[in-house]
Each structure stands twice: as structure tokens, then as C-alpha cells.
Amino acid sequence: MQPKSLFTVCFVSLFCILSGQPPAIAQLRLPRFFTDHMVLQRHKPIKVWGWAEPGETVSVRLAVLESAATAGADGKWVATLPIMGAGGPFTLKVAGASQTITLEDVLVGDIWFCSGQSNMYWPVNQSDDAAAEIAAADYPQIRLLTVPSLMDTRLRDDSGFTRWDLCQPSTVPYFSAVGYYFGRALHLESGVPIGLIDATWGGTRIESWMSPFSLMEDPEFGPVVQSTFGLSLQATMDSIRQAIVQWEEQIDLQDLGLAEGWRRPETDWEDWPTMNLPIPWEYAGLPGVDGAVWYKKTLELTAEQLAGPAAISLGPIDDSDMTYINGAEVGQTYKSINTSRLYPIPSGLLQPGENTITVRVKDHGYRGGFWGSAQAMALLTGQEAIPLSGEWKYKPGTTELGNRPEQINPNLLPAVLYNAMVHPFTPMPIRGVAWYQGESNAGEPYHYRDRFRQFIHDWRGRWGVDNLPFVFVQLANFRQPSAIPQESGWATLRESQALALALPHTGMAVAIDLGEPGNIHPGNKQDVGYRLSLAARAVAYEENLVYSGPAYHSATIQDGAILVEFAHSGSGLASIHGREKLRGFAIAGEDGRFRWAEAEIVAPDKVIVYNEEITNPLYVRYAWADNPGELDLYNAEGLPAAPFRTDELRLPWQH
């Protein structure tokens, strides 16, 4: 969701408390991410900084290297140590007039800042082969630091509480899987200590990760940044949280079902509408409804069915429920959307003949209702599982509740993640940035091409390194493949990502073959991390290796076909599945209507594309879809060809 002008006006009106001056610094202090086991960047001057009493002299010692600095009027000091090669462990000592801070087991190596949204966040323990990968994750020279999830409209000079951990089975499960596999590959190849900083937040747009300086003049986001920069986000968030608590209290106070006793079997509910469960109610006649909705169903039971213990299973419910049988409560669950409801039924409560089941569902925002499988809804007796899915009667209990106060999230305000999760680290020299983001910007995929390049320039400027290595993952395939060629927002965004390769010291990992149709968080993060490490080895370490799959270079029209030439063909183009005709190619003539094409490898770096029904072809597209399905074109090194188009036809998102 993008900020809208009306929202901006309303939101800015909530900011009424200006940032006060920070309290005086009375004791020696380092940023919170200076801890035991940390990594410092090799081959660059080593910066150590912090706060002390104004005018206090601070000395810094690392191995045999020493430096000193004097705290300014604001208490800040920065000491710079000479360049070091990879090594350690060392002790880092920082001493003031009356206090000494000692950090042990400090390594000098390469630091990579791993950032983005959920596919970079996605942890090892939720990815493929998790148990085996976790058990084998014993790499004492790989160090892991997870940045706390924080937002701020002010530039923070420190992170939240965090620490560096050794990479081992106890620490790696919750760390970024892409980040870990990326760093592991670099470490195993180079033997150099690797520090990985995981600064991620799922579902976030790129604008939240950009600095306020880069957005000040932006016509869309500039007014928001200028209106909120330097103001107290925390005060506003506290105010909104209190408003949400008061709103949630009103659900019970306003619920007619509670007041009128709808749980009772004798309630007149014959005229209630019906809903086929399980389904969230937003998809079944109650769009945008929050609060309480009551459901009722009758069930005819025989005496034989009632023999033995009984229980009711309803599957997961969003968010809370109170469940009754024949007017008596048998169970309730509060704010637990992923918990399958299974409640034992007291003996004697069910009777031969008609029984009434009543479920009060309370939704605190977003989706509400039943969202599990039909099989999960059943009355379990000693004899059988009696299905409960299908038609239920329903009625909202809260009709005058009003809209739930909107919580602040990173997508509502630009720059808030940069301010809190990135800016504190910009004084620290790093080897480069590994980035995986874009899904949340897929609604404006054409615009992303400018935004992404602006973002790379921005972060390079914040770190003060014009050619800071920047490697990124192109979006994986997602959703079901299409039967016919058609426009695609995800394909357009992939093109926008690839255009950033025009910037120096950038590299891209293609993931068009690593996705899953029904899972926006595919489990194979090992190949993503490995391909990202190949890009890093090429652009950051300047190794001479095949680091990319085939990439479109040029196209020539000849004899009713189009000859496509590829860069990065490595040892030669290959059909990885052994097919003579390659899948994923489409071709169009003057009308711009794309049709599936025949495509064959005709040279180590060339593919011929044609369709006998199109005698005058002009354009070729490859893998141009949210999910192009199974593809064949790779290089001999096993890296997939990147999606591309040869045309410059106007796209639906182009404006």
C-alpha cells in the first residue's frame, strides 16, 4: 500500500510531540552491535565509535593497533585504526577516563549487509532440508547478527539490543536462510571470516528502506518525509495502540449476540443468511467487516453415535472464538489464528435428536472467520467423524463498531526502516550489500526500475562508497503458469531489477526456476544463496568465473525467424532437460500479439526463435510471466537464462 494524500494529512496531524534533545552522555558507550564475536571489515580503515563525556579522551586498541579520539560537545567520538588483513580472534579494548570496555573473540574479515523483505528474512528452520542444514551449521568463523525490527521517523545512531553470534546449530535456525547460504558459500570459497548482518522485514516496500535524504524531493513521498522527519513516531504509535485497545473493548460491549443470548438453542435464527464454511467471511458476503460474527448449525444425532467420548474440531479460526453446544460453552481460544480448535464435549451435553452448535468468532482486524480445510471441521464421536463443513447460518453481532484504528506499518511511511535498521550501521565499513526485495512493489513494477537504481545510489552514498558492491536476487517464479502469453507485473518488475545491472559493481542472481506456484516463500534457499555468492565473487572479489546464466544481448531478424544472441553463455548454451525445442519463448509480429514460439539452440551463444504462422516476426519474449513454468535454457555451468523481452511495447504499468 502506498501513502495517499488523505492518509498523509490525517497521519501527520497525529504527530504532535517534537523530538527532545538526547540526555547528556555520562558514561563510555559503544553502539549496541559492538559485542563479543563481532567482525570488522578487512582491507579498509577500521572505525570504532561511540559516546562519552564531552571532552573525554577515548583510546582504542585492537591487537597491536592503537588509536585515540576526543568526544565532542555532543558526546560522540570516532577512532580510526589502520587497515588490517583477515585474521583473529582479537581483543578490542576501548578505554575512557574511568571505564574500559573489552570485546573478546573479534575477527577481521568481510561484512555483508543482507537486507530486504520476507524472502531474505525467511529463516533456515522454515526452508528446505532444515534439520540437516541446522545440524551441519558449525562454522565458527561465520558470525551472525540480526537487527531488531524497528521503525523511526528520526535517524537513529544506534540499533536495538542485538549481538553477534557464532554460526552454530543453536543460532542459525532463525537467521536468514538466503543470507546464511550466501555467507557460507563465500566463506568456504575464500576461507575468510564472514560477518552477516540480517536487516529484514517481511512484506515491505523499497521506499521504507530508502533514506529520507533520497526522498525529500520525490513528488510522491517527499511531502510525507518532510512532514514527519524528526518527529516522535513512538508517541503516535503508543496513541494508536491505546485506541486499538479501546476499539477491541467495544466489540464485546456492542455485541448484540452477547446481549441477546444468541448462544441459546431457542434463538430465532431461521432467517439468518447462510455461508459455506470454511471460508474467511470477507470472501463470503462480509467484506471489510471486523468485530463479532455468530454462526449456527443443527446436527441430528442418534443414540448410537453418542456412545463414548466426543469432541468438536473446527480447524483454525481468525482471530478468537467461543464455541457452544446446546447453549453451553465447550471451549474458547483468544487471538490465535493458527491454532486448530479442538474442544472436548462434556458427557451428556449432546442428546439424541437435534443439537445446536453455535460459534462466536471475534476478528480484531483484516480477515475473520474459518480458514482451515473442510476435513478439519467435524464432530468427533466414539463411532465416527461427522462432517461440519458446508452450510451454516450466520449473523454479525457488531454492526455499529466503526473501522479499526490503523496500526502504523513500514509501508505507510517511507524511510522508517532505513532510519532505524540501516542508518546506525552506515559508519561501519562493509564488503557489500546482498538484497532480496520487490514482491511488495509488484503493483507498480515499471516504476520500480527508477526506484531501485535510486535506492542503490542512495545506500552507496550513505556508506560513502561510490561503487559499494551490490548483489540482488531477481524475483522467483510464482503463481500458476498461464496457458497463453500475457502481460505480467512480476515479469515487468524482474526487468526493472535487471536494468540495475547497468550500474557498476552490481550482480544479479536469477531465481526464475526456484519458485513454487502456490508459495511466495519457496523453500529452496540454498540455490538462491549460492547463485548470489557467485555474483558477489564476480563483482566484489573480481574473480574470473561464470557467475550468471545466459542474458539477452541482441536479436537479429532473418528469414521469418529471430536469432537471439546471449551474453554469459559460459561454456555454451544448454537445454538442461535435453529437449531440442526450448520452452518459455514467445514471438510477435507487427500487431504485438505474442504467441508461443519454437526455439532451438543453434550456436554456443545463439537461439533461433520462430512461429510458422508469423511470417514477419519483430519481437521475442522469454519467461515473460509471473510463472513461466518449467524452462530449459541454461548455460553448461547450470545457471538459468534470465527472463527478457526484445520489444519496447508499452506495458500496462507504464505511465
DSSP string, 115-178: EESHHHH-BGGGSTTHHHHHHT--EEEEEEEE------SS--SS-SS--EEEESTTTSTTSBHH
Task: Judge whether residue 629 has pLDDT over 90.
Answer: yes
**CA angle 323-324-325, nearest 5°?**
135
User: 3-class secondary structure for 225-290?
Assistant: HHHHCCECHHHHHHHHHHHHHHHHHHHHHHCHHHHHCCCCCCCCCCCCCEEEECCEHHHCCCCCCC
Strands 506-509 and 470-473, how do they pair?
A: parallel
544 and 564 in a single domain? The answer is: no
Residue at 521 is within a domain:
yes
For 11, the enclosing helix (H) or strand (E) is helix 5-14
Residue type, 67: S
Residue at 654 is within a domain:
no
Strands 100-116 and 87-95, how do they pair?
A: antiparallel
Cell readout for 406 is: 490503523
Residue where a domain stops, chosen among 345, 363, 396: 396
Residue with cell 591487537: 63
Task: Judge whether residue 63 has pLDDT over 90.
Answer: yes
Q: Contact, 314 vs 390, CB < 8 A?
A: no
Task: Judge whether residue 13 has pLDDT over 80.
Answer: no
Cα-to-chain-centroid distance, residue 403: 27
| pLDDT, tens digit (0-9, with 9 covering 90-100), for 486-541 | 999 999 999 999 999 999 999 999 999 999 998 999 999 999 999 999 999 999 99
564 and 484 in a single domain? The answer is: no
Q: What pairs with residue 585 in β-bridges? A: 622
Cα-to-chain-centroid distance, residue 482: 25
Q: Which residues of 205-232 are buried (b: 16+ CB within 10 A; e: fewer)?
A: bbbbbbbbebbeebeebebbbebbbebb
Nearest Cα neighbor of 87 from 49, 41, 139 is 41
Residue at 270 is within a domain:
yes
Largest CA distance in the chain: 87
Residue where a domain stops, chosen among 396, 420, 446: 396
Residue at 475 is within a domain:
yes
Cα-to-chain-centroid distance, residue 305: 48
Residue where a domain stops, chosen among 548, 576, 599: 548
As a whole number, mean pLDDT of residues 287-293 equals 91
Task: Say which range, 57-71, 302-316, 518-532, has the weakest mean pLDDT.
Answer: 302-316
335 and 435 in a single domain? The answer is: no
As a whole number, mean pLDDT of residues 228-254 equals 86
Can you give the pLDDT at residue 403? 79
Residue at 346 is within a domain:
yes
Task: Judge whether residue 92 has pLDDT over 70.
Answer: yes
First to last CA, the chain: 18
299 and 444 in a single domain? The answer is: no
> Phi and psi (nearest 5°) for 99?
-145, 145
CATH at 325: 2.60.120.260
The pTM is what?
0.80
Can you give the pLDDT at residue 341? 94
Task: Say which range, 12-26, 68-82, 279-293, 602-616, has the weakest mean pLDDT.
Answer: 12-26
More confident residue, 568 or 231: 568
82 and 13 in a single domain? The answer is: yes
pLDDT bracket for residue 15 (50, 70, 90): very low
Other C-beta atoms within 10 Å of 204: how many? 24
Task: Judge whether residue 243 has pLDDT over 80.
Answer: yes
204 and 93 in a single domain? The answer is: yes
> Phi and psi (nearest 5°) for 292?
-110, 135
Q: Contact, 531 vs 509, CB < 8 A?
A: yes
**CA angle 61-78-105, nearest 5°?**
35
> Phi and psi (nearest 5°) for 63?
55, -120
pLDDT bracket for residue 399 (50, 70, 90): confident
> Phi and psi (nearest 5°) for 371?
-135, 15
Cα-to-chain-centroid distance, residue 260: 44
pLDDT bracket for residue 77 (50, 70, 90): very high
362 and 459 in a single domain? The answer is: no
Can you give the pLDDT at residue 336? 87
Can you give the pLDDT at residue 131? 96
Task: Judge whether residue 544 has pLDDT over 80.
Answer: yes
Residue 408 has, within 13 A of its CA and on its CB side, a CA count of 27
592 and 493 in a single domain? The answer is: no
Peptide bond into 89 cis (omega under 30): yes
Identify how many contiguous H helices and E strands the chain contains and give both numbers. Answer: 12, 34
Distance of alpha carbon 100 from alpha carbon 260, whole angstroms? 68
As a whole number, mean pLDDT of residues 19-35 equals 72
| pLDDT, tens digit (0-9, with 9 covering 90-100), for 342-352 | 999 999 999 99
- Sheet with strand 595-596: strands edge to edge: 595-596, 585-588, 619-622, 644-645
Q: Contact, 581 vs 600, CB < 8 A?
A: yes
Can you give the pLDDT at residue 18? 32
Other C-beta atoms within 10 Å of 348: how many? 7
Residue at 653 is within a domain:
no
Residue type, 5: S
Can you give the pLDDT at residue 459? 98
Percent of the chain with pLDDT over 70: 96
In 162-236, at which residue ranges do the beta strands (DSSP E only) sit?
A: 164-167, 194-200
What's the domain range around 567? Answer: 551-645
The structural domain count of the chain equals 3
Nearest Cα neighbor of 49 from 27, 76, 24 is 76
As a whole number, mean pLDDT of residues 252-256 equals 94
Peptide bond into 469 cis (omega under 30): no
Task: Judge whether residue 405 has pLDDT over 90.
Answer: no
Can you give the pLDDT at residue 26? 60
What 8-state DSSP symbol labels residue 522? -
Residue at 446 is within a domain:
yes
Residue at 130 is within a domain:
yes
Cell readout for 290 is: 471486523
376 and 522 in a single domain? The answer is: no
Q: Which residues of 363-389 are buried (b: 16+ CB within 10 A; e: fewer)?
A: bbbeebbbbbebebbbbbbeeeebebb
Cell readout for 527 is: 540455490
244 and 103 in a single domain? The answer is: yes
As a whole number, mean pLDDT of residues 77-98 equals 97
Cell readout for 412 is: 505507510
CATH at 498: 3.40.50.1110
**Length of the chain counted residue by residue:** 655
Average pLDDT, the chain: 93
Residue with cell 552491535: 33
- Which are the contacts of 20, defined by CB distance < 8 A and separation ≥ 6? none
More confident residue, 24 or 422: 422
240 and 272 in a single domain? The answer is: no
411 and 291 in a single domain? The answer is: no
For 415, the enclosing helix (H) or strand (E) is none
pLDDT bracket for residue 25 (50, 70, 90): very low
Other C-beta atoms within 10 Å of 640: how many? 22
Task: Judge whether residue 2 has pLDDT over 50.
Answer: no
